[in-house]
Structure 1
Amino acid sequence: MNSAATPPEPDTLPPFLHPGDRVLLFDGVCKLCNASVQFVIRHDRQRRIKLASMQSPQGQALLQWFGQPTEQFDSVLLIEDQGLSQRSEAFIRLMAQLPAPWRWLRLLRWVPRPLRDWVYDRIAGNRYRWFGRHEVCLLPSPEHRGRFLDDPS
């Protein structure tokens, strides 16, 4: 998979998105991914990053729009104006959106991508074994209203 895919047309937005939206797509049954989402919610105080599980109808539509697999999830994905980022590039771009000290992790961009992605793939490939998985996607709590694409508020 490429680390960044570009949207088909500049005037065409992916489904459910508005200009300037940033969306983190994550595996909704992965406990590590859910902990990462909680981390983003806690540290993204400006609420700039929207969230969607890949298993949700919105997540599935976005995966299809970007030509990504809709049944096997091996990377978080970050959708921004620049298109779709995945693996270590998505992580670095995500951290760059958060306040210090987390944004300083964007300096990892200086590490060669093959090495970054190798480390990412080791963690992603073992995430269920190391951290576990939920039987079903967790639902957002009421205090997180408006953070998820499937939330009407």
Structure 2
Amino acid sequence: MNNNHKIILFDGVCNLCNGAVTFIIERDKRNVFKFAALQNEIGQKLISKFNIDTSKVDSIILIDGEKHYEKSSAALRIAKYLSGAYPLLFGFMVVPKFIRNAVYDYIAKNRYKWFGKRDECMIPTPDLKKKFL
């Protein structure tokens, strides 16, 4: 695993999460991120390594070196590295975490109902395979 990349763990069967991965890939002009589904072997190893409780966090997790970020903190840190105006969203880090995470949790809790769910994890195109672990 290349330690120069930040790793995004995502719910591989969630349509919203898969859409977010596609969105990030399209705006990751500096090739900062690699991706792994929470459900695959590498995702499971990282969950175990960082002792992440997936009953509490089951959507996007950012691993940056030896640190990991969950929920709104992960999303805002990811935005910091995207092209365009998205890094400005990082300014929302000043909002207290309990408020940011309440909004995040509400969306996460309803994501299958609103956006649907797949039967299996997304299979990247050959061109995108290099972005996945």
TM range (shorter): over 0.9
2:37 and 2:100 map into 1 onto residues whose CA distance is 24
Change (3 A) 1:36 1:95: same
1:135 and 1:62 map into 2 onto residues whose CA distance is 23
What are the Cα deviations for residues 25-72 of structure 1, in whole angstroms up to 9, with x where unaligned? 000000000000000111102211000000111101110111123677
Aligned to 1:23: 7
Q: How does 1:98-109 map to 2 (within 5 A)?
A: 98-109=82-93
| Residue 19 of structure 1, CA deviation | 2.7
- The answer for unaligned runs of 5 or more in structure 1 is 1-16
Runs of 4+ off more than 3 Å: 69-73
* Greater radius of gyration (CA): 1
Aligned residues: 133
TM-score, normalisation: structure 1: 0.81
1:114 and 1:69 map into 2 onto residues whose CA distance is 18
Aligned to 2:100: 116
- Aligned residue for 1:59, secondary structure, equals helix
Aligned to 1:67: 51
Aligned to 2:34, which of 50, 54, 63? 50
- Aligned residue for 2:48, secondary structure, equals helix
TM-score, normalisation: structure 2: 0.93
- The answer for unaligned runs of 5 or more in structure 2 is none
- Alignment check: 8 A CA contact 1:27 1:73 kept: no
Aligned to 2:130: 146
